[in-house]
Structure 1
Amino acid sequence: MWDAQQTSIFLGASRLPDDSYQKAEELLLKFANRHGIITGATGTGKTVTLQILAEAFSDAGVPVFCADIKGDLAGISMMGESKDFLEKRAAEIKLEPYELSQYPAVFWDLFGEQGHPVRATISEMGPLLLSRLMDLSDAQEGVLNIAFRIADEEGMLLLDMKDLQAMLVNMAERASEIGARYGNVTRQSVGAIQRSLLVLEQQGANHFFGEPALKISDIMRTTRDGRGAVNILAADKLMMNPRLYATFLLWLLSELFEELPEIGDPAKPKLVFFFDEAHLLFNEAPRALLERIEQVVRLIRSKGVGVYFVTQNPLDVPETVLAQLGNRVQHALRAYTPREQKAVKTAADTFRPNPDFNTYEMITHLGTGEALVSTLAEKGIPSMVQRTLIRPPSARMGTITADERAKIMSVSPVAGLYDEVVDRESAYEILQKRAADAATAREEADKAAQQAEASNTSGWKLPDFGGNSGGSGSREPVRRQSSGRTSQRQTVTETAIKSIVRTVSTTLGREIVRGILGSLKKR
């Protein structure tokens, strides 16, 4: 239950040398923002550990954001059910009283099907994360950076997919101009990005990019009685596109990092973020992205945000990130293959040793619901690793029905805020208007040119000797308007005149020749 004076979270009880569970293992709230990791093989109890941590943080007044990969974390929103094995576990670890409860859950879904829609704008995502999402080459990433730069300089918002597509088309048309300012922009690179956008659109990313964008404050709510909201992202369908899943959660972390103020080390976190299936974040990630992740994890704790990675294998997390995780819960691992043996050794080496047992061997012998636990104790020093029986959850374990989900969403504090898409003027509309204005200007220019040509083009013709000219055979020329084309036929009068001219010229020519020759003969 919620307690304003609460300073720690009860995780379970550790086993003493006589095999009894008497020593409470706790996570101090003042060190909960130092991040953590939950690892273990499938079926060893990672999801239940995530649930009891989410419940405990909510009771402490700390909002939580987590992904529901299989749909069984949604049960936290419903009243728990009394079961024999749960009662037995509570008695073993001396959890008294063991009370059933339900927690204030807010459901989210990138596709808007099992929760409130989650959206982000293209501008908020930024070129680095978009390049990661589309798996672009260095050259293509450079073109994408140029697109963002031009949009900023020309005052165009990049909000949704069609904005970015319109921007890329505009860049291809202005490739020479842009290339002179920012470097070579090839049509091949632009085309590759456009094809990647098409793939994203087919995978449903067009539901994610747009407005209204998610406000960070809406995942940091507390209830009237002081409990933190448990934000649950429906991720079963999202997992079909793991790159989108990882990019979205990294974007959310980045937004938290950029928006929240520095507060140092608070008495308890402002928000706790659980990253389930964490290996998806790091798989094939370029060096620049890994550096970004490391930076966010290292610095976001001073914003009061705790990040907890949930994954099967500690090798899934890079060493530079693993070193930042002070609170550790290790469920059982198997060591059948060389890689699994290496994973067990890595996990064992991250704990402060306990002289009562061999950590390496213990990891392979843990039962379901058991874990090796080490948290930051006073002065931030890691506690000695302990074999711990994890406490039972208070809320329901497992899935909920569609009707139960719909009922919870109907009374959600964000109901109606994100349901309708908003499409305000942005790059697409601006570029469409520019193209229409340019087309209109070209049409007007062509029309003006045709009119000018028609008025400036003129021709000359001989007078009509048939009397139609109204004169007496005057040679004074008569101007006529050009019809814009030349006749291929001559009038009878014109033909006659040309014949007379040729005859006169020929006769005159002969007379001149005879005169010249005659004078030569006389000489």
Structure 2
Amino acid sequence: MAQIVDPDAGTVFVGGGGEGHAAAQNLLLKFANRHGLIAGATGTGKTVTLQTLAESFSLAGVPVFMADVKGDLAGISKSGNTESALNDAFQKRATQIGITLDYQAMPVTFWDIWGERGHPVRTTPAEMGPLLLARLMDLSDAQEGVLNIAFRIADEEGLALLDLADLQAMLVWVGQNAKDLSLKYGNVSTASVGAIQRALMVLENEGGKLLFGEPALALADMMRCDASGKGMVNILSAEKLMNSPRLYATFLLWLMSELFEQLPEVGDPEKPCIAFFFDEAHLLFDNAPPALVAKIEQVARLIRSKGVSLWFISQNPADLPEDVLGQLGNRVQHALRAFTAKDQKALRLAAENYRPNPAFETAEAIQSVSTGEAVTSLLEAKGVPGMVQRTLIRPPLTLLGPIPDADRAALNQASDMAAKYGKTVDRESAAELLKKRAEGAAQEAGKTQAVNGDDDLWKMEPEHSRGRRYDPSIQIPAEPKPRAKASNRDTIASAFGKSLARQLGTKTGQALVRGVLGSLFRGK
């Protein structure tokens, strides 16, 4: 009998067996960081393949992250059972491919941006950076430039951008001082500032207010194993998130960039440090600018040496850019249906991505494989693409489908992540600091007026009002005093002083950390 996970050989069993099928198809863990593809039409078994691969990684001690876009992956937290309606079919398949079904549950942590079906997932505007935020809000080039200026000034002034209120306060200040800032940073249009503010309002309504804040998600809390050595399976509840596809795509891109930025170089480890599954992968690239797609391809290529295994799940390989598709060495292709001329062309293109097998035509096999069966090509020794094979995917060890809400709530409550992420933390940041500085500037202005006294006020009073009693509640501007022309740097500094009285505020400033995609753009 084959082992689902063979630690000595460093493999996980994907499937095989049966008449006309390969004896066994094993994924080499050493080459799992060369990434993978799971593709196929709706209803052909992609979700089950994703679940079985996640189980295998977990059993091998590799943490997993995956988005649950339909709500049917939660069953991985429960053991499969012999009373299941599919048990007979699963047992028959297991015998056919030469394995024993040892039903068991995997350790699971549920996450949810809205905090309703899992622990809240948060990041900060500072960590996400202006590039991804600009894409999230669909900003124009000019508006993205203004957003970059706001981030630059926040860096220089030590104003931490930890939530949307901080970013909104920073943009208000930029708008009020647009004329002075244009001298140093280039044109700052108040119209662009207004457009960004409106986009922020839309983002807030879509859930951005919940996404941005603290405590921010720590990657170490996802990259864990339980007491038995199984890798933690992190499931992002994405049923509601899918109603905001741009938010979904941007969040996943941010998470990938954080992995790239924070993880050390490890080359080709014996097994990945984490396996990351992108379901509905086409959303990452829909309407994305070419420069961003190029950076995604670059990160996908370079993150291999960080020990990260990326898996893209989509209906058709053509949904992914060629440069990204070229990075995916392990492939599981379920059936594609060719009803139209366009479908037939896509089928031929999909078949051309595989190393041919003289025993059958690849295109014909892709079109004819049944549910639960796939055409596979897995990397062999030295990273050579394996010959395409018709493969029966192994049955899952865990429960297929969703779980009751009460069971999910119990798992969330029992998780050690509940105490850390359950409550929002509001530290002193840009909004509070700007408010404090504004109040300080207002007090200083009041002291200056008091020191000037009645003489200055008398000089500025009209003739008919002289001799009347001074009313301190009436604020009359002092006579302007000549001063030297300010330098560019002085102009910006004085602009901060003049505007602080009109600002919202913050708490303690701290250095801002950008997401890697933003830093990559600045470095190119």
With the shorter chain as reference, the TM-score category is 0.7 to 0.9
Residue equivalent to 1:338: 341
2:411 matched to 1:408? yes
1:168-317 superposed matches below 5 A: 168-317=171-320
Residue equivalent to 1:464: none
1:118-165 residue CA offsets vs partner (Å, 9 max, x unmatched): 000101000110011000000001111111110000111111001100
2:95 matched to 1:91? yes
CA–CA distance in 1 between the matches of 2:115 and 2:294? 32
2:457 matched to 1:430? no
The RMSD of aligned alpha carbons is 2.0
- The secondary structure found in structure 2 opposite 1:273 is strand
User: Alpha-carbon deviation of 1:446?
Assistant: 4.6
Q: Is the 8 A contact 1:22 1:93 kept in 2?
A: no
Which has the greater radius of gyration?
1
2:363 matched to 1:360? yes
CA–CA distance in 1 between the matches of 2:452 and 2:5? 80
> Using a 3 Å threshold, how does the CA distance of structure 1 residues 362 and 456 change in structure 2: closer, same or farther?
closer
User: Alpha-carbon deviation of 1:231?
Assistant: 0.4
Residue equivalent to 2:519: none
Residue segments in structure 1 that go unaligned for 5+ positions in a row: 461-480, 486-523
User: Alpha-carbon deviation of 1:407?
Assistant: 1.4
Identity %: 58
Which one of the candidate residues 420, 439, 443 is aligned to 1:440?
443
User: Alpha-carbon deviation of 1:441?
Assistant: 3.3
> Using a 3 Å threshold, how does the CA distance of structure 1 residues 14 and 348 change in structure 2: closer, same or farther?
farther
> Using a 3 Å threshold, how does the CA distance of structure 1 residues 363 and 442 change in structure 2: closer, same or farther?
same
CA–CA distance in 1 between the matches of 2:461 and 2:222? 77
- The secondary structure found in structure 2 opposite 1:201 is helix
Q: Is the 8 A contact 1:454 1:482 kept in 2?
A: no
CA–CA distance in 2 between the matches of 1:457 and 1:74? 75
Q: Is the 8 A contact 1:107 1:233 kept in 2?
A: yes
Q: One-letter code of the match for 1:29?
A: L
Residue equivalent to 2:70: 70
- The secondary structure found in structure 2 opposite 1:308 is strand
Residues 41-50 or 423-432, more deviating? 423-432
Q: Is the 8 A contact 2:122 2:217 kept in 1?
A: yes
Q: Is the 8 A contact 1:4 1:61 kept in 2?
A: no
> Using a 3 Å threshold, how does the CA distance of structure 1 residues 175 and 22 change in structure 2: closer, same or farther?
closer
Q: One-letter code of the match for 1:59?
A: L
Residues 337-346 or 101-110, more deviating? 337-346
Which one of the candidate residues 391, 412, 418 is aligned to 1:388?
391
Q: Is the 8 A contact 2:5 2:13 kept in 1?
A: no
Q: One-letter code of the match for 1:73?
A: L
User: Alpha-carbon deviation of 1:443?
Assistant: 3.9
1:422-475 residue CA offsets vs partner (Å, 9 max, x unmatched): 111111111111222233334444555563346669999xxxxxxxxxxxxxxx
Residue equivalent to 1:31: 31
> Using a 3 Å threshold, how does the CA distance of structure 1 residues 459 and 186 change in structure 2: closer, same or farther?
closer
User: Alpha-carbon deviation of 1:406?
Assistant: 1.2
Q: One-letter code of the match for 1:60?
A: A
Q: One-letter code of the match for 2:421?
A: Y
Q: One-letter code of the match for 1:301?
A: R
CA–CA distance in 2 between the matches of 1:3 and 1:449? 85
Residue equivalent to 1:463: none
Q: One-letter code of the match for 2:427?
A: R
- The secondary structure found in structure 2 opposite 1:310 is strand
- The structure with higher relative contact order (CA 8 Å, sep 6+) is 2
1:107-186 superposed matches below 5 A: 107-186=110-189
Residue equivalent to 2:521: none
1:24-71 residue CA offsets vs partner (Å, 9 max, x unmatched): 111000000000000000000000000000000000000000000111
TM-score, normalized by length of structure 1?
A: 0.85
Residues 173-182 or 20-29, more deviating? 20-29
> Using a 3 Å threshold, how does the CA distance of structure 1 residues 459 and 324 change in structure 2: closer, same or farther?
closer
Q: One-letter code of the match for 2:162?
A: L
| Aligned residue pairs, count | 462
CA–CA distance in 1 between the matches of 2:395 and 2:227? 26
Residue equivalent to 2:60: 60
User: Alpha-carbon deviation of 1:92?
Assistant: 1.6
Residues 428-437 or 161-170, more deviating? 428-437
Which one of the candidate residues 7, 10, 13 is aligned to 1:7?
10
User: Alpha-carbon deviation of 1:413?
Assistant: 3.1
Q: Is the 8 A contact 1:2 1:227 kept in 2?
A: no
Residue equivalent to 2:41: 41
User: Alpha-carbon deviation of 1:6?
Assistant: 5.5
CA–CA distance in 1 between the matches of 2:44 and 2:22? 22
Q: One-letter code of the match for 1:400?
A: I
Which one of the candidate residues 367, 376, 379 is aligned to 1:376?
379
Residue equivalent to 1:516: none
- The secondary structure found in structure 2 opposite 1:483 is coil
- The secondary structure found in structure 2 opposite 1:433 is helix
Q: One-letter code of the match for 2:106?
A: Y
Residue equivalent to 1:509: none
CA–CA distance in 2 between the matches of 1:36 and 1:427? 42
Residue equivalent to 1:351: 354
- The secondary structure found in structure 2 opposite 1:284 is coil
Q: Is the 8 A contact 1:159 1:426 kept in 2?
A: yes
Q: One-letter code of the match for 1:65?
A: F
- The secondary structure found in structure 1 opposite 2:324 is helix
User: Alpha-carbon deviation of 1:5?
Assistant: 3.6
Q: Is the 8 A contact 1:89 1:391 kept in 2?
A: yes
Q: Is the 8 A contact 2:376 2:388 kept in 1?
A: yes
- The secondary structure found in structure 2 opposite 1:416 is helix
Q: One-letter code of the match for 1:75?
A: G
> Using a 3 Å threshold, how does the CA distance of structure 1 residues 6 and 406 change in structure 2: closer, same or farther?
farther
- The secondary structure found in structure 1 opposite 2:420 is coil
User: Alpha-carbon deviation of 1:288?
Assistant: 1.8
Residue segments in structure 2 that go unaligned for 5+ positions in a row: 471-524
User: Alpha-carbon deviation of 1:411?
Assistant: 2.1
CA–CA distance in 1 between the matches of 2:457 and 2:32? 83
